Amino acid sequence: MKKIVLAMFIFVLMGTMFGLVSAVDSPNLNVSVGTYAPLPAEPGKPLTVWVNVQNIGGEATNINVVFEDTTSFRLLNERDRTKTISVLGGYTDYMLKYELFVADNTPEGSNDLILTYQMTGDSSVYTAKLPIDIKSAEAPISVSSVSMTPEVITPGSKAKLTIAVKNLAKSSNVRDVQVSLYLDPIIASTTIVSDIPFITTTSNKKSLDRITPGQTSEFTFELVAYPEAESKVYKLPVIISYKDDAGNNYSTTYLVGVQVNSKPDLILNIDSSSLNKNVQQGDVIFNIINKGVNNMKLMTITLNAADGYELLDASNIIYIGGVDSDDFQTANFNVKTTETNVVKFNVTLDYRDALNNEFTDNRLVEYVLREPLDGNGGSPLITIIVILVIAAGIFFWVRKRKKNKELKK
């Protein structure tokens, strides 16, 4: 009986040892990513991947590793489709190199590179999913256009500012997009270095859940310019913040140009003249009044040739220079007229506004010729009054003298 029990114990022990030896001798492969470059990988760019095949079991022979096509990765060289490792000893590693191209539409985040492998003595086909981190190198967003309606905003008025934002990525979404107008004064060392004379009628922030690859979305703001806003081009900071598909945060700032200006409002008339119905040669003084809100500059006035008068000056152009808002300038021309009632002067004003926009303003200015002054510089009515005053003085002088004579008698 003891011999039977001992025989059974030896049999079980040998079986266990045989199983352990068999387990140790069986190959046990672990396939993983060694490294890849660039890191992270970029959509639409080449990618080099080193795959590590590790054997933590017995010797393996004729290991065939097959690259499987996916929508994210493709081989640059078809000869690398199947790679064979002839012998891989126990507890050793073997590195495989793949030259790939990352598809343009590959989403950002983790994407699996798939390999299948099989070895001699094992009918099973194993699959290895190797995660590759995909991320765009730069923030894939841009301001594609900016428009104002109307194109120029006048002080104290409203305008719609539309900012078009485009997702430049070919495969990645941009999410939680927020477009903000920075309207606060820009301060440096407690001093205002730039003041932005606008407010919005609603919020200065607009948001959107997502912009898909290649899509353009518009964000519209209604601006009101301060009544005292100076005419010029203002640089309006626009801050755009968003996330990519992998949850990474981005923020970028653009400068948008907004024009403030108003139309010129000039009055041109004749301030005075020595011409009248009898005096046909003399000076004509033109008065240029700026009743608009903008300053005008580089102004010239030209008296053009026309019927009814002749210019006696050497030049028909006078340089005026600047005419500020709520101010005036004058220009004097010496002319000779053949008219007896009304002279129509053909005048051209050339000037620029605060934004250097050029203007040419043609005017026809009429001057009514009055009755002439007398030789002493007075009108006929004044002459009559003077004569009457003198006559009255003579009358009272004669009367007083007569009374004095009577008193003496």
Clarify whether residues 152 and 252 are in a common domain.
yes
CA distance 310 to 343: 11
- Determine contact, residues 153/225, Cβ cutoff 8 Å: yes
- Is 281 domain-assigned? yes
Contact 229, 260 (CB under 8 A): yes
Q: Break the chain down into helix, strand, coil percent, rounded to 5.
A: 15, 55, 30
- Same domain? For 205 and 236 the reply is yes
Any domain includes 404: no
The mean-pLDDT minimum among 113-127, 140-154, 189-203 falls in: 189-203
Cα(147)–Cα(372) distance, rounded to whole angstroms? 60
pTM higher than 0.75: no
Domain boundary among 108, 134, 160: 134
Q: Give per-residue pLDDT as tens, 344-367.
A: 999 999 999 988 899 999 999 999
- Are 170 and 128 in the same domain? no
Co-location of 120 and 157 in the same domain: no
CA distance 409 to 402: 11
Q: What is the pLDDT of residues 50-84, one digit of tens each?
A: 999 999 999 999 999 999 999 999 999 999 999 99
274 and 195 housed in the same domain:
no
Give the residue-averaged pLDDT of 369-391: 65
**Is 390 within the bounds of a domain?**
no
Question: Both 74 and 156 in a single domain?
Answer: no
User: Could you tell me if residue 176 is inside a domain?
Assistant: yes
Domain count, the chain: 3
* Residue 353 sits in the same domain as residue 306: yes
Does 397 map to a domain? no
Question: Do residues 284 and 320 share a domain?
Answer: yes
Q: Are strands 82-88 and 29-37 parallel, antiparallel or unpaired?
A: unpaired
In a domain, 126, yes or no: yes
* β 152-153/249-260 pair status: parallel
Q: Which domain holds residue 319?
A: 266-368
256 in the same domain as 150: yes
Domain boundary among 260, 283, 305: 260
Q: Does 7 score more than 70 pLDDT?
A: no
Q: How far apart are the first and last CA of the chain?
A: 202
Within 13 Å of residue 118, how many CA atoms lie on the same side as its CB? 8
Give the model confidence (pLDDT) of 130-143 as tens digits: 999 988 766 578 89
Residue 150: inside a domain: yes
> Mapping DSSP to helix (H, G, I), strand (E, B) and coil, where does residue 256 land?
strand
Q: At 202, is the secondary structure helix, strand, or coil?
A: coil
Query: Domain check: are 326 and 297 in the same one?
Result: yes
Tell me which DSSP letter residue 16 carries. H
pLDDT at site 202: 87
Residue with tokens 């993983």: 32
Could you count the other beta carbons within 10 Å of the beta carbon of residue 313?
A: 13
User: Which pLDDT belongs to residue 140?
Assistant: 75
Mean pLDDT, the chain, rounded, equals 86
In a domain, 198, yes or no: yes
Question: What is the pLDDT at residue 384?
Answer: 66
Whole-angstrom Cα distance, residue 33 to residue 47? 13
Does residue 18 have a pLDDT over 70? no
CATH label of the domain that carries residue 301: 2.60.40.10
Strands (E), 305-341: 309-311, 317-323, 327-337
